[in-house]
């Protein structure tokens, strides 16, 4: 199974996030020497509804383990997607899943357009059964 990257959109979003971070950081007090700043808390895992639990229970152990590794906000975002996009979401790398879940709605819409186009292009490039060599040739 292929993993797709949202490189252009993610790179732009990440670049913007990193460019604004230093501006915000200068307004915050630094921790005293010898102490580390507290880590941002991880969002809690998504609480599955009965319908979501039924879908989850039908997944392979590998798929369940992969889902369990996602941060809570990514899990919640996954369940907000329509089923066709949920299927596409599994084909993304974990880093792209995280980036997509954290994007602003306008950027996310553009990223999904790119993902859908890429998957369509890849599906169109797959050889058709009539293009393959006949068995025994």
pLDDT score of 122 more than 90: no
Query: Residue 14 domain-assigned?
Result: no
In contact, 70 and 94? CB cutoff 8 Å: yes
The verdict on residue 135 lying in a domain is no
Amino acid 27: pLDDT:
46
Give this prediction's pTM.
0.61
* Whole-number average pLDDT of the chain: 76
User: Mean per-residue pLDDT for 51-75?
Assistant: 95
**Residue 96: inside a domain:** yes
Q: What is the pLDDT of residue 80?
A: 96
How many structural domains are present in the chain?
1
Supply the range of the domain harboring residue 111. 46-123
Domain assignment present for 52: yes
d(CA 10, CA 132): 37
The answer to whether residue 118 sits within a structural domain is: yes
Residue 113 lies in a domain: yes
pLDDT class of 45 with cuts at 50, 70, 90: confident
Can you spell out the DSSP letters for 22-76? HHHHTTSPPPPTT-PPPPPPPPPPP---HHHHHHHHTS-HHHHHHHHHS-HHHHH
pLDDT for residue 26 is more than 50 = no
Q: Is residue 15 part of a domain?
A: no
Residue 76 lies in a domain: yes
């Amino acid at each position: 199974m292929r993993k797709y990257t949202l490189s252009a959109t993610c790179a732009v979003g990440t670049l913007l996030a990193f460019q604004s971070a230093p501006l915000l950081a200068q307004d915050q007090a630094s921790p005293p020497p010898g102490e580390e700043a507290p880590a941002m808390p991880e969002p809690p895992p998504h609480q599955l509804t009965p319908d979501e639990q039924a879908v989850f229970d039908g997944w392979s152990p590998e798929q369940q383990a992969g889902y369990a590794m996602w941060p809570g906000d990514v899990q919640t975002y996954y369940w907000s997607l329509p089923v066709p996009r949920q299927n596409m979401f599994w084909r993304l790398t974990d880093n792209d899943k995280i980036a997509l879940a954290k994007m602003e709605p306008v950027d996310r819409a553009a990223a999904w357009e790119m993902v859908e186009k890429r998957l369509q292009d890849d599906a169109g490039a797959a050889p058709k059964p009539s293009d393959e060599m006949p068995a025994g040739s």
